[in-house]
Structure 1
Amino acid sequence: MAEVKSNKELFNVSVSPHIRSKESVSKIMWTVNICLAPAALFGAYYFGLNAILILVAGVVSAVFFEWAVQKIRKKPVTVKDGSAFLTGLLLAMCLPPTLPWWMTIVGSFIAIVIAKHAMGGLGSNIFNPAHIGRAALMVSWPVAMTTWSKMTTAADVVSSATPLNVLKMQGHEALIDTFGNASNMYQALFLGTRNGCIGETCTVLLVLGGLFLIYKKYINWQVPVVMIGTVGILTWIFGGLVDPAGSLGFFAGDPLFHIMAGGLIIGAFFMATDMVTIPMTIKGQIIFAAGAGVMTVMIRLLGGYPEGVCYSILLMNCLTPLIDRFCQPKKFGARG
């Protein structure tokens, strides 16, 4: 006869949450850091000493400001959870390799102290802290933020501007001259041997890192797929329409070029998927990603700035509460 358990064993009610997970903030943050590490290391290798200084300055200063603010606020110090490390790393990876290293520290201060802790700390910030830091640096030092080191290949010095900048300012002929031919250009965009921000150039490493996060279910695949797909489709449809003179040529409406040439990959996989600043529901996240993609294309094709990923994500961060309001799931048992 089976042993009958006591009422105490059968009705053991604990404090919520009742559904538990082995995942933690620290584990997730450090996993994201590891996924970003290959692209960051490649950028450090390809762009050289100053890029290394920027990466180190970004990470160390972000961790220090996190520790200092929590000490001043008399809050538990949580620098070991990896969130400040991640903010500093993302900020540094989204900066040009020629930027003076001390400007990175200013960006980290704005990202951690103002964009994060002034909003209440981890989980309470409205905007992506790393992108706020980058946007603040862009407004404060626009020349330094748009000055690029020259690309060097086995042949020689190739160009001193990013592919998007070359296309927008000089046209498709200059873009072809930069790389020699279209095949070389696509190879450079895929492998990362081209000008750009430190951590945005190597498409293959960023995609592999993003796919691992999807595999771990730390991010939803719909966000990067929808954002990247939106940019690709809209540039294919409208790229040629904004170039009546034909100076931009084929690449104005080349979706593959626009997907790999700027910061779309790092933005779609690692910025737009930020758990704090995007909508909570899948439906809301799809709307967020599509909106960010639309704004990216509008800024690239119609604006004076060749890149628009940073501002598009920040603008959609503003709409996250509104999207959440209209995408609330129905209450269990409710009608209509």
Structure 2
Amino acid sequence: MIDFEPKSGPFAHTSNSSNRIMYTVVLTLLPAALMGVYQFGLASLQTLLVCSVVAIIAEYICLKLLGRATSACLDGSALLTGLLLAMSLPATVPMWLAAFGSVFAIVVGKQIYGGLGQNLFNPAMLARVMLLICFPVEMTTWAVPTPIDFSGNQVTVPQGWLQFDGVTAATSLSGLQHEPVSLAAQFFGSIGGSLGETSALLILLGGLVLLYRRIIHWAIPVSFIAGLCVPAAIAALIAPESFASPLSQLLSGGAMLGAFYIATDLVTSPTSVRGQLIYGAMCGLLIWLIRSFGNYPEGVAFAVLMVNAASPLIDHYLRPSIFGSKSAVEKS
């Protein structure tokens, strides 16, 4: 008889770690961020740097005060939070406001709950909503794109690209109810708005890389897009003069960023596939409702935070059975 000591299972191994996941997400988001710098100039670069650096410093101070290992401030989570916040801000937002938002995201949105993995709400979106409510003028002042011109045999850098202040303009979301913005401009990002509205194409490509690397699951992006586009298509068929088309809804604002980078947050989203499908569909539907009938033209941050609050309830009723449990055996 073979003498062995049984161990509990199953056993699963993966090369992914929280640090690797965070930095992979950051790397896939960098092309869209750099596209924002190309479109809006040094002002956007300043916003990206301030949000990212202040978020890491705030994380370091919180860990120091809590008596935890301060090296955790470099695990990529604080950097990703600052980067996502910067992508949701206007390019020419005052630097003190960007820094304040980053501190709020780390302290109130993350560390007050216990740190990484404990927060109920997405920290970057919580900070964005706070800034929008407290500083509506600064948060709705958008810059006109002033990209570098590479046409011909020379490189032309516009004067506006080198400045830290910009000329304001309406966003594509404002145009949905007034003068429609071309789908090509929305897809490639040659429009006014936040840094996260720069290029739906680059955000889509980054999201596909995350799907390929299995860092995010297909359920949330697919249901998110369906939840936004299905009611938009029905409304556009009924009253095309009053409602924007599904593609305009999807390519404008922060919808693409929300579908692949914000709603898919591993901490604040449900764990089961069924739960993720419901979660994503609720996000998309709420965005369409806020855009169509609310007082704010953009609804990604509000929608994500509301569904974040419902995520534990979704998990409670739709959590998958534990492998080897009595309920799992009965189901099989």
1:199-210 equivalent positions in 2, closer than 5 A:
199-210=196-207
1:118 equivalent in alignment to 2:112: yes
1:281 equivalent in alignment to 2:272: yes
Residue 140 of structure 1 and its aligned partner are, at CA, apart by 1.0
Residue 151 of structure 1 and its aligned partner are, at CA, apart by 3.6
1:27 equivalent in alignment to 2:26: no
Residue 222 of structure 1 and its aligned partner are, at CA, apart by 1.4
Residue 242 of structure 1 and its aligned partner are, at CA, apart by 6.7
- Give the AA of the match of 2:197: E
Contact 2:142 2:168 in 1 (8 A): no
Query: Aligned residues, how many?
Result: 310
Provide the rounded CA distance (Å) in 2 between the counterparts of 1:322 and 1:119: 18
1:217-256 equivalent positions in 2, closer than 5 A:
217-239=214-236, 246=241, 248=242, 252-256=243-247
Equivalent residue, structure 1, for 2:67: 74
The structure having more radius of gyration, on CA atoms, is: 1
Provide the rounded CA distance (Å) in 2 between the counterparts of 1:109 and 1:118: 12
Equivalent residue, structure 2, for 1:165: 174
Normalised to the residue count of structure 2, the TM-score between the two structures is 0.87
1:141 equivalent in alignment to 2:132: no
| Residue-by-residue CA offset, 1:70-111 (whole Å, 9 max, x unaligned) | 001101120221010000000001101121111111101110
Contact 1:164 1:306 in 2 (8 A): yes
Equivalent residue, structure 2, for 1:182: none
Provide the rounded CA distance (Å) in 1 between the counterparts of 2:19 and 2:223: 28
1:59 pairs with one of 52, 60, 63: 52
Q: Pairwise CA RMSD of aligned residues?
A: 2.3
Provide the rounded CA distance (Å) in 2 between the counterparts of 1:276 and 1:283: 17
Contact 1:62 1:84 in 2 (8 A): yes
Taking only the aligned residue pairs, the percentage that are identical comes to: 39
Residue 262 of structure 1 and its aligned partner are, at CA, apart by 1.1
Residue 328 of structure 1 and its aligned partner are, at CA, apart by 2.3
| Residue-by-residue CA offset, 1:219-268 (whole Å, 9 max, x unaligned) | 0011111111221111111246577xx4x4xxx24111110011000011
**Gap change, CA 1:21 and 1:152, over 3 Å in 2:** closer
- Give the AA of the match of 1:288: Y
Residue 139 of structure 1 and its aligned partner are, at CA, apart by 0.9
Provide the rounded CA distance (Å) in 1 between the counterparts of 2:288 and 2:255: 10
Provide the rounded CA distance (Å) in 2 between the counterparts of 1:253 and 1:187: 15
Contact 2:39 2:145 in 1 (8 A): no
Contact 2:120 2:268 in 1 (8 A): yes
3-state SS of paired residue (2:197): coil
- Give the AA of the match of 1:161: A
Provide the rounded CA distance (Å) in 2 between the counterparts of 1:314 and 1:262: 17
Equivalent residue, structure 1, for 2:38: 45
- Give the AA of the match of 2:111: H
- Give the AA of the match of 1:212: V
* Structure 2, unaligned runs of 5 or more: 150-157, 161-166
**Gap change, CA 1:140 and 1:242, over 3 Å in 2:** farther
Provide the rounded CA distance (Å) in 1 between the counterparts of 2:142 and 2:78: 27
- Give the AA of the match of 1:293: G
